[in-house]
A and B are shown apart, each in its own frame.
Chain A
């Protein structure tokens, strides 16, 4: 079985995000970018499937600007076998929307014929949580989202999902699309020898036009603002006052 893992280049989760002066988005010039953390978990899971003998090949694919190549190299250094870069924008500030990504992925799936697509449940930059679901609709494949446990059993996948209020285990037909949640695994470090070897692994470069997909934005960002600064707290003399204050504010 071949596993396809889409990976997105996003602003590093450690970076203190700054909103651009014109409010059109977040400033990404000269900012550290990394692989979307959920995608790292997906790559890790794919490599584990390969190590367990349940997958033969792990193919990472990234859709975005040319610099997403770095993200793919990270996936290769972690253990993916090869990579496909689909350049769909020149400007690092242009986000490729989930529907465009899903359409391109559908074409890649057609070409690659994977038995499983393992994706992150969402990207930490815009928190859309839509690509995996849209891809499922476009392909007419089953989907299992928010996975905290994945077990491939012949032509079925048994997936434990993190849902509101607990865990749900479902069985879906393969081929399928699984989107992964935080607790699925702990991604490995890209080991130094593997980093050196990653340079020699194949990385194909394509464009959105190659797949006949128009990746231009459909959504209009009206405004981007910083979260409101937290208000200073208040120190109260005793528990009674605390309870009274909470009641006053209608919290208890």
Chain B
């Protein structure tokens, strides 16, 4: 076992970090203040990100990505994660892996424009009545000859406002299982502008200014069979197969921001003087730093290990849940303590800490709440014992 980064990984970190610091950081304040990304700026940054080969680098080489192994990809995500989320997600987009599950025609129509930065994807599962319990969804697609007719509402759908299309999960039937009835789910591509499909502004939320969420409404929205992603009734299988690593992606982006917050805290503790000495000389401050650094290292190691196992195809659900759980909770702790170490200044928007603290909040909720991660971890422990 060894933990050293390869030469390539070091270079990936270097390129991505320079880009984030030089090209993204300068726009952060404006987005925090306005909550809006001007399209002119988006286009300019997209072009720069493409030149640096950072745009959609999560994708395989065959479709124009960088062909990164899992660990290299996570290192890249960590560096991007340092910056305002809306900025990196929009201007250095990582199209969803699930687009690779499409047919050749679907890849041509949806993946290619995402790779070129002409549009963005969005993924709609959550409903007002179905969050953690996705199978409890009530939005449906009923078959009508060769067509499907969609009805229902999805909410909290990230950046559906700028996306050119949505990948939507709908209930398409039920099956009997030993544990009772179970809903069958199908995934569809739905283009913006399809009659019966409306995207409305969602809620304003505390985290990730500039990164919007929308409400998607379907009212007798008719789609041809060619809009099905994967197979009919097999929507969750497609999702499980292609979206497996998104928890690691969340973990990695959190590690980047946690590292940024910790660096601020360390520098401030060495610089700020009260009572005639550096505040870092007070154990009340220095022990905080020690705990922050230790927890962050633990979260890093959990994430890299899960990434390494993902690459070897030996990763378990619990491995990925542990990484996501730990990284998101450590980020929250570090953001909070970094503010504490800065005293009143930590709350002010002169520094990125107050927003890292706000942004940390959503990470424990999306991509599976902390409770759901604990549920997955404990299930893996207890199941062999019949639990």
Q: Do A and B come from one complex?
A: yes
A190 to B11, CA, bound (A): 8
**Contact status B7-A70, CB under 8 Å:** yes
| A188 at the B interface (CB under 8 A) | yes
Q: Which residues of A contact B (CB under 8 A)?
A: 69-70, 73-74, 77, 188-196, 198-199
**Contact status A189-B15, CB under 8 Å:** yes
**Contact status A193-B15, CB under 8 Å:** no
Per-residue CB proximity of B1-41 to A under 8 Å, as 1/0?
A: 00000011011101110110000000000000000000000
- Taking a contact as CB atoms closer than 8 A, the residue among B16, B51, B54, B67 that contacts A196 in the complex is B67
A67 to B14, CA, bound (A): 17
A198 to B53, CA, bound (A): 14
Per-residue CB proximity of B63-96 to A under 8 Å, as 1/0?
A: 0011110000000100000000000000000000
A196 to B11, CA, bound (A): 10
| B313 at the A interface (CB under 8 A) | no
> Contacts A189-B15, A191-B15, A192-B68: A73 and B8 contacting too (C-beta < 8 A)?
yes
* A contact face: mostly helix, strand, loop, or mixed: helix
Residues of B within 8 A of A69 (CB): 7
**Contact status A190-B15, CB under 8 Å:** yes
Q: How many A-B residue pairs have CB under 8 A?
A: 58
B301 to chain A, nearest CB (A): 19
Residue of B8, B11, B16, B57 with most chain A CB atoms under a 10 A cut-off:
B11
The interface on chain B, measured as residues whose beta carbon lies within 8 A of the other chain's beta carbons, has a size of 21
A191 to B8, CA, bound (A): 11
Given contact pairs A188-B51, A193-B53, A194-B53, a sample of 18 additional A-B residue pairs in the complex whose CB atoms are under 8 Å apart: A70-B7, A77-B11, A188-B52, A189-B19, A191-B53, A192-B53, A192-B54, A192-B68, A193-B66, A193-B67, A195-B12, A195-B53, A195-B66, A196-B8, A196-B66, A196-B67, A196-B68, A198-B11
Measured CB to CB, the nearest residue on chain A to B50 is A191
A14 to B8, CA, bound (A): 21
| B146 at the A interface (CB under 8 A) | no
A231 to B4, CA, bound (A): 42
Residues of B within 8 A of A74 (CB): 11
A77 to B15, CA, bound (A): 10
- Taking a contact as CB atoms closer than 8 A, the residue among B7, B18, B57 that contacts A192 in the complex is B57
Residues of B within 8 A of A199 (CB): 7-8
Measured CB to CB, the nearest residue on chain A to B48 is A189
B44 to chain A, nearest CB (A): 16
**Contact status A195-B52, CB under 8 Å:** no
A14 to B317, CA, bound (A): 40
A192 to B80, CA, bound (A): 13
Residues of A within 8 A of B12 (CB): 192, 195
Measured CB to CB, the nearest residue on chain B to A34 is B14
> Contacts A69-B7, A73-B8, A77-B11: A191 and B67 contacting too (C-beta < 8 A)?
no
Q: Can you list 9 A-B contacts (CB < 8 A)?
A: A73-B8, A189-B52, A192-B16, A192-B52, A192-B76, A193-B57, A193-B67, A195-B8, A195-B53
**Contact status A192-B10, CB under 8 Å:** no
